[in-house]
Chains A and B, each alone.
Chain A
Amino acid sequence: MRIAVHRLRLAACLAASSILWSSAMAAAADAVEHTLGNGLRVIVKPDQRAPVVVSMVWYKAGSVDEFNGTTGVAHVLEHMMFKGTRSVPGGEFSKRIAAAGGRDNAFTSKDYTGYFQMLHKSQLPLSFKLEADRMANLVLAQEEFAKEIRVVMEERRWRTDDQPRAMVYERLMATALVAHPYRHPIIGWMNDIENMRVEDARAFYERWYAPNNAILVLVGDVAPQEMFDLAEQYFGGIKPKALPPRKPQEEPSQLGLKRLTVKAPAELPYVLMAYRVPVLRDPENDWEPYALEMLANVLDGNAAARLPRTLVRTERLANSAGASYDGIGRGPGLFYLDGVPGSGKTVEEVEEGLRRELHKIAVDGVTEEELRRIKAQAVAAHVYQRDSMFFQARQIGSVESAGLSHKTLDLMLEKLKAVTAAQVQEVANKYFNDDDLTVAYLDPQPLVARKPAVPPPGLRHAQ
């Protein structure tokens, strides 16, 4: 549903952008690539298991590319991409895909915006025709915009404003980072959405939506050369644009511990911590991101990992506890720890427990057994994810959008498998200092306006 990709549950972070799950698909990376004359890159990964294909167009433009006062515009534009071109009226895009037996949707993230169709392989020309059309001919009518911006406000209320832990994440990001645009929510601040104009969406579209800023990713029962020809037929005529230079917007170093409190209606408190850490830039020569990925998995990579075992099951300090690392992305990296206090415990105690688990690794290191277990999981994941064409296409698109080549995925798996216990201990010592830490507490507030549901007479026995 025109999804904005958020990271509500930290444990779920592993899915999209972690090195472990990206690299795990390595050996299957028999994807073939070709660049059209206008700069559109086409990446095809054949998979003959079913007569279907996943087609995705990835624009290297996300919330990171927004300007002051227009946060959320990348995501608003994503919604507007379904609202009509000169030849395809609003709402028709999805109708035509549906009539071809297809499913379609889109997603916006910090680094990219993606559009996809899943359909029988014979219907691919329709998908290409419609995607090529809206790459160049979007109308962006004021009337449609006025309705859709209200939908986006509803989306924000639903995803963030009424979700206490999502609010904590949003405020933590805005505190941990001061200069880099990763500090802004993908969906945008409400006031920016309220004051957004159709011209803002148009400016973003004109600036970034071009074949030379896009990647077409195909996974399914298709032949690469045929796909390159088909792509040429539909996308080849679209003119490239001169893309504006991207400013580095480097995040200055943090100068000390930051703490914040978020008050929101809730029952349970919650703590979320974020440490500034490096991300993967050079898959060949970097080693720290791989070690950080292993560290996150030693802490929370499986049910036997340290945080669930120690903090939740043994000590019963927390109802839940997690760790994750965003190792792949254009902007600065963060390593997250989070937890919900157990009965009678406080956020302070959970924070202390999370710090203690990190400290133990810094002092005592990790065991060979723990590393072996995570590597076994990576090998298995490499097989499992081939069961989903959608997942494979999404992996290719997300590493590419972060500026890494899908061709380095093999290498990334090898690098990950080569991580030693000493390296994990070294990054645990090097990066987890208070000066690079931001800590957010959720301070639960009573639901003042709430009145209990009054069950009708005669139904009380069903309570």
Chain B
Amino acid sequence: MRSERAILWLAAVLLFAAGSAHAILPIQHWQTTSGARVYFVENRDLPMLDVSVEFPAGAGFDSKEKSGAASMTNRLLRLGAEGMNEDEIAQRLADVGAQLSGSFDTDRAGLALRTLSSREERTQALDIFARLLQRPVFPEDVLEREKVRLIAALREADTKPDTIAALTFYRLLYRDHPYALRSSGEVETVRRLTRQDLVDFYRRHYTAQQAVVALIGDVSRSEAAALAEQLTSGLPRDDGAELALPPVTPLPAAATRFIVHPAAQSHIMIGAPGIRRDDPDYFPLFVGNYILGGGGFVSRITEEVRQKRGLAYSAYSYFSPLKQQGPFLIGMQTQREQAQEALTVVRNTLREFLAEGPTQQELTAAKQNLVGGFPLRIDSNRRIHGYLALIGFYRLPLTYLDDFVKKVEQVSLADIKTAFARRLDLDRMVTVVVGATEAQAAASQAPN
């Protein structure tokens, strides 16, 4: 205990000495006239600017019938805007060295731009960016082509053991919740998507009141404010009410599937619905999971599966907190013939962790890494930009990064044990093994 405190204190001093007397990261926050939330860090070190605009428009907002609409809407934002076809968009952005990307996950979707901050380049890149966000065209012929491309890619993905495992896993985990839906849609639902579906999805989800603008780079506060206006004033409007997702119901019972596949390796996924982004247990679970399977080579799962037994190249666990309960997941791949052994090892590791919790030594080591390594989390514009977008979308406190070290330090052994016990029950988890032998698959047909 004594040595832990001493070391952590040292790390914290180093950290704050390295920063300024003020907040670690001075985040400026305001709303545009249209109601969009803006999060900005001025950083003049490099003549560049990163900006993203994101909305509650991820795959979780799809309906079962139109699964894939969210993803296709996001994809087509880049492929046609008022007065510009897809080639012109690509050319004019490349002409000024700008990099455009779509962002899309379970909750969030939007566009991101990296550009030089010099006036000519920045103006051209942001004019295009603003038009893509606010004046999308969703061209009919581009949609038809992209549907064909996507359906081919889905069919290809459907042959892969990792895809089969993930699809099965999320269906079992989330059942009738939209988080169970395939993020890019199913072949059948994608085939049926119409231009009107995309227009409707865009109008409902890409609204000014829901928008989160995250900016970091070589512009002043007043320039950032003008940019945020430019990017959001022409967005669709709504009544400002939060776009909600239904809660996730608890798993009624364990569910296990072994699926035959000819791949050399079995892909194994074990998990349960985990936590919401605003869960008060976030830090105990985050620190605890570092010890269990999040800390790479120093985690228990890697130690048991890889270091001690050579069963897998990669074995890990994580919580992925979302608007509703995101997944807790343990994943690994191992030679087909030893899948059962690996499964037993990882289940025993989890059982022991849930029953006993981590040791004091493990907790100390975890805190040393997470506290001492904090500067690495914010060592580039790219990383800071990621935090700005996260804080904005999930309405985390502006002091989230300032508080990070303190929150990690506060976690106790008891906190971890209690938090894990509240979330995970070894007898109520989803287990999927793709790449099973015929015998394993047959044996798993028994009720569980």
Which residues of A are in contact with B by a Cβ distance under 8 Å? 1, 49-52, 82, 90-91, 94-95, 98-103, 118-120, 122-123, 146-155, 157-158, 161-162, 265-268, 301-304, 308-309, 312-313, 316, 319, 340, 342-343, 372-373, 376-377, 379-381, 383-384, 386-389, 447-451, 453-456, 459, 461-463
B180 proximal to A (CB < 8 A) = yes
Q: How far is the CB of A26 from chain B (nearest CB, A)?
A: 15
Mark B42-78 against chain A: 1 for CB-CB distance below 8 A, else 0.
0001111000000000000000100000000000000
Give complex CA distance A325, B353 in Å. 49
Cα A387 to Cα B49 with chains together (Å): 11
Whether the Cβ atoms of B45 and A49 lie closer than 8 Å is yes
- B382 A459 Cβ-Cβ under 8 A: no
Known: A342-B148, A377-B97, A380-B98. A120 touches B262 (CB 8 A): no
Query: Could you say which residues of chain B place their CB within 8 Å of the CB of A447?
Result: 159, 261-262
Within 8 A of A (CB), among B75-119: 86-87, 89-91, 93-100, 114-116
Tell me the minimal C-beta distance from A163 to chain B in angstroms: 9
B 153-170 to A, binary, CB cutoff 8 A, 1 in contact else 0 = 101101111001001100
Hey, which chain B residues are within 8 Å of A52, CB to CB?
A: 375-376, 379
Residues of A within 8 A of B297 (CB): 82, 91, 94-95, 98
Q: A162 to B369, Cβ gap below 8 A?
A: no
| Cα distance A303–B79 in the bound complex, in angstroms | 11
Instruction: Answer yes or no: B292 CB below 8 A from chain A CBs.
Output: no
17 A–B contact pairs at CB < 8 A?
A51-B14, A51-B375, A100-B368, A102-B372, A102-B376, A119-B372, A120-B14, A267-B155, A267-B156, A268-B155, A302-B94, A340-B152, A372-B95, A380-B121, A387-B48, A451-B259, A461-B64
Question: Chain A residues near B264 (CB, 8 Å)?
Answer: 157, 161-162
Known pairs A151-B306, A302-B90, A456-B255; A462 contacts B180 (CB<8 A): yes
Interface size grouping (class) on chain B: 35 or more
B244 within 8 A of A: no
The answer on a CB contact under 8 Å between B156 and A268 is: yes
B residues less than 8 Å from A316 (CB atoms): 145, 148
A47 to B13, CA, bound (A): 22
- Contacts A1-B296, A101-B374, A267-B158 given; indicate if A147 touches B175 (C-beta within 8 A): no
A342 to B115: give the CA distance in the assembly, Å: 33
Give the residues in chain A near B159, CB-CB below 8 Å: 265-267, 447, 450
Does residue B381 face the partner (Cβ distance < 8 Å to A)?
A: yes
Answer yes or no: B335 CB below 8 A from chain A CBs: yes
Please tell me if B422 contacts chain A, counting CB pairs below 8 Å.
Answer: no
Partner of B369, one of A99, A149, A340, A381: A99
- Is residue B424 within 8 Å, beta carbon to beta carbon, of the partner chain? no
Q: How far is the CA of A456 from the CA of B253 in the complex (A)?
A: 12
Residues of B contacting A381 in the complex (Cβ-Cβ under 8 angstroms): 97
CB distance B156 to A98 under 8 Å?
Answer: no
Q: Encode contact with A along B373-398: 1 for CB under 8 Å, 0 otherwise.
A: 11110111110000000000000000
The listed residue (B94, B115, B368) touching A101 by CB distance below 8 A is B368
Please choose the segment from B192-200, B229-237, B281-289, B309-317 that sits at the chain A interface, where 4 or more of its residues have CB less than 8 A away.
B309-317
Q: Tell me, rounded to whole Å, the shortest Cβ–Cβ distance linking A119 to chain B.
A: 7
Bound Cα distance from A119 to B377, whole angstroms: 11
Chain B residues in 8 Å Cβ range of A161: 264-265
B95 surroundings in chain A (CB, below 8 A): 372-373, 376
Which A residues are CB-close (under 8 A) to B365? 95, 98-99
Within the complex, the shortest CB–CB distance from B20 to chain A, in Å, comes to: 11
Q: Which of B286-334 contact A (CB under 8 A)?
A: 295-298, 303, 306-314, 333-334
Restricting to B219-278, which residues have a CB under 8 Å from any CB of A? 255, 257, 259-265
CA distance A373 to B297 in the complex (A): 43
B63: min CB distance to chain A, Å:
12
CB distance from B375 to the nearest CB of A (A): 5
